[in-house]
């Protein structure tokens, strides 16, 4: 199918899921500034952001190429360029893998540990989540959450050159945040995932149990978020307490009314929650 270069680039941008990439980049920034003491290494900062963007975008593109059949059965994904035939499976996988490789090389500009975490995030998303767990087990997104953790670890390593307890805690926060966030989405689009044969938690259980699992996941995450106060200040702690309480209010609402609409509201609350936590952490390290 003949398309212009500009449109082809737009197809790949669409497949790279920019709304996820910006949150992963923010996680990398959070990790970077968690390691911040007195001096910003601009070369390392730019390297981890560009490298991470390329690798995570590449992993998403590979995901789009791999899951054409599943995407075609889901209303939410039925208009993706791969489903419509604008980008073939082989093209998506080739371009995506090339971007992952390029992103890993760019990560080397910061240091080898940064490049390792940049690659690890893409590897987990493609091989552990997309290919292995997603079609087989409801714990798919739980383990897959480590892909987001790797972004934070890459950011921390870019400035510090190491992986330590502070880095682990931030990555673990993202790992703990991921299930509740994504299960809310899966509950909203439960019928889509069922048609595609994907055993997301809301597909293999009822709405009430899924809502309870979301609330438990969010509740278990909050202590990890508060633990980051040890590496920040009272401004961060105040923001974390207020928005964690708000998140739990909507989690309880979802238990009381586990509908698709309430799940969608929960999903739209949880994405800004992580962004706000990360921004608060960054600000606390700069003032």
Distance CA 271, CA 178 (A): 9
Half-sphere exposure of 98 (CA within 13 A, CB side): 7
Domain 9-286 - what CATH class?
A: mainly alpha
Per DSSP, 198 falls in state -
Residue the block writes with tokens 């950011």: 155
DSSP states of 248-271: HHHHHHHHHS--HHHHHHHHHHHH
pLDDT for the residue numbered 7: 85
At residue 5, the pLDDT reads 80
Phi, psi of 40 (to 5 degrees): -90, 125
In Å, the largest CA–CA distance within the chain is 57
Cβ distance 186 to 136 under 8 Å?
no
Nearest to 97 by CA among 137, 54, 128: 54
Question: For residues 58 and 96, what is the distance between their CA atoms, to the nearest angstrom?
Answer: 4
Whole-prediction pTM? 0.95
Q: pLDDT tens, position by position, for the chain (287 residues)?
A: 467 788 889 999 999 999 999 999 999 999 999 999 888 999 999 999 999 999 999 999 999 999 999 999 999 999 999 999 999 999 999 999 999 999 999 999 999 999 999 999 999 999 999 999 999 999 899 999 999 999 999 999 999 999 999 999 999 999 999 999 999 999 999 999 999 999 999 999 999 999 999 999 999 999 999 999 999 999 999 999 999 999 999 999 999 999 999 999 999 999 999 999 999 999 999 98
Structure tokens at 262: 């309430």
d(C-alpha 104, C-alpha 117), whole Å: 9
Distance CA 114, CA 120 (A): 10
- Could you tell me the two tokens for 117? 């975490």
- Show the tokens assigned to 22: 């910006």
Q: How far is CA 166 from CA 67, 173, 182, 225, in A?
A: 36, 11, 25, 12
Q: How far apart are the first and last CA of the chain?
A: 53
Closest CA to 1 of 69, 91, 67: 91
Residue found under tokens 């949150």: 23
CB 198 within 8 A of CB 160: no
What's the DSSP call for residue 164? -
Residues in the chain: 287
pLDDT, position 35: 96
What is the reported pLDDT for 2?
Answer: 61
The answer to whether 177 and 141 have CB atoms below 8 angstroms apart is no
Whole-angstrom Cα distance, residue 268 to residue 238? 21
- How far is 26 from 281, CA to CA, in rounded Å? 11
**How much of the chain is helix, strand and coil, in % rounded to 5?**
80, 0, 20
């Amino acid at each position: 199918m003949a398309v212009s270069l500009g449109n082809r680039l737009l197809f790949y941008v669409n497949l790279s899921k920019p709304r996820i990439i910006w949150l992963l980049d923010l996680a990398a920034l959070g990790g970077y500034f968690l390691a911040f003491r007195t001096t910003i290494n601009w070369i390392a900062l730019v390297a981890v952001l560009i490298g991470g963007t390329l690798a995570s975008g590449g992993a998403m593109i590979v995901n789009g190429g791999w899951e054409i059949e599943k995407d075609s059965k889901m209303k939410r994904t039925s208009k993706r360029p791969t489903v419509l035939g604008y980008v073939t499976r082989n093209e998506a996988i080739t371009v995506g893998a090339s971007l992952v490789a390029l992103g890993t090389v760019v990560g080397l500009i910061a240091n080898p540990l940064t490049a390792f975490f940049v690659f690890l995030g893409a590897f987990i998303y493609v091989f552990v989540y997309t290919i292995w767990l997603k079609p087989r087990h409801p714990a798919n997104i739980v383990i897959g959450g480590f892909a987001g953790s790797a972004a934070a670890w890459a950011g921390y390593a870019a400035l510090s050159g190491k992986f330590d307890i502070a880095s682990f805690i931030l990555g673990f926060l993202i790992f703990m945040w991921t299930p509740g966030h994504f299960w809310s989405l899966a509950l909203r689009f439960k019928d889509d995932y069922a048609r595609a044969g994907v055993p997301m938690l809301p597909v293999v259980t009822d709405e009430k149990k899924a809502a309870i699992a979301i609330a438990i996941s969010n509740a278990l995450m909050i202590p990890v978020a508060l633990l980051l106060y040890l590496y920040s200040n009272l401004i961060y702690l105040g923001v974390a307490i207020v928005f964690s309480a708000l998140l739990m209010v909507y989690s309880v609402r979802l238990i009381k009314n586990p509908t698709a609409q309430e799940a969608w509201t929960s999903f739209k609350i949880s994405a800004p929650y992580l962004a706000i936590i990360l921004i608060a952490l960054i600000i606390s390290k700069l003032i």
